[in-house]
Structure 1
Amino acid sequence: MRVSADRLHLVRHGEVHNPDHVLYGRLPNFRLSADGRVMARRAAEYVHGLGRPVGALVCSPLQRTRESAEPFTELFGIEPRVDERVIEPTNVFEGRRMSRALRNPLNWRHLVRPSVPSWGEPYAQVAARMDDAMTEAWNLTAAGDVVVVSHQLPIWVTHLAVAGLPFRHDPRSRRCGLSSVTSFERRGERWVEIDYVEPASLSGAVDVGAV
């Protein structure tokens, strides 16, 4: 008899220590701030509070997602499996402050096709790799829920893909707060989004640097 998971939660990492307010992308050594660790813990406590067993934990290889997965390991007793497919997308503005980069006319060529987007990894490619990772985790989990700790853009384009919405969007309009939890179920061959919560909102949290 085929077995699989029951529910899948895409969890965004917590606040990052980013004093220079750069777009950090895939750069190394961007760790969680002290508040970010609190937020990651609250996200894990929220999922734990659902009273549902978790059979698998997946995270991106970046430091901030590994650290955000730690409270899930503590509460559920499972080690994360690192999956490159749930990593942050590439972006030509990585390491820069966006407010400064956009004032330079030499950078405007990267903005000509926002629907792709022309400044980084295509949205469709991000959505496809996320779907592959989610489907594999779902099918390889014998029972219980799956937690995938990822990043804002991969989670948001997954939401758009599942909802059947265009990928083109204003990055400022994304509904994907720090340490938010977006939950899905699998019905037949398609994903269905069933919930979105922000269990870890902190006043004054700094949410800059997402690609």
Structure 2
Amino acid sequence: MSKKFLTGAGNKIKLYVALLPLGSREEPENINGIATTSSGIAANATAVNLGAAVGGNGIGAGTPLEFANSSGVKRKVYLTEDAMPDDTTLAIEPMTGGAISGICTATYTAKLRLQGGTQSGSEISAERQQTQVFEDPQGFQDGVVTSQAWSIPITANLLPDDDSYRRLYYAATNAVSGREVFVWSEGPAPAGFTTGDGLKGACIVEGFSTEYPADGILSYNTTLQGQGSPIITRYA
């Protein structure tokens, strides 16, 4: 069975997601060369000592990171606490698969693409409160916009070890603690361009449901719900 799934909508709509540290709504940054100490990582370790501070805008708890040494041995770890700028230790779930020796490095990719999706659009809404009524030949009334929200519905079929899915699942199960994700949505690119118009911003993962059919393919439905105005991105 293939380990990759093509996205839906003719492979034209692209969605990317990153977990956010609690209280942060900044756009996450990629971080290259996160390095452990020369002693490597012990079996069942719950912490990784870094040779340099985290940097960037931090990495949200629940994010998977894959460390590898010079011999090509790899171990995937999951953060149990936010990794903030200037941190030199990562708190992780007990590492499985045995110890990994020597200096180990991992790369944090902020924009991880959601696979297996059939999502094809977004919804933007606003509420207006009437503040004053005035006479107008066409019957217009005055008012002020009091709130705005936007959402992206997602339906997808994929393998349950997909890291982008795991990011969403973690945010959904920890929503009560305020866990949010940062999402990038890109539409079809015009002729001669690689990236289409889109939007991005911080949001919660709500209404998350999963199914596990007998064929081993995981199906899930959810909605990414943002408050305020999303940031518009232009084709490039």
Pair in the same fold by TM > 0.5: no
TM-score in terms of structure 1 length:
0.29
TM-score (norm: length of structure 2): 0.27
Q: Which has the higher strand share?
A: 2
With a CA cutoff of 8 Å and minimum separation of 6, indicate the structure with the bigger relative contact order: 1
Structure 1 or 2: more helix by fraction: 1
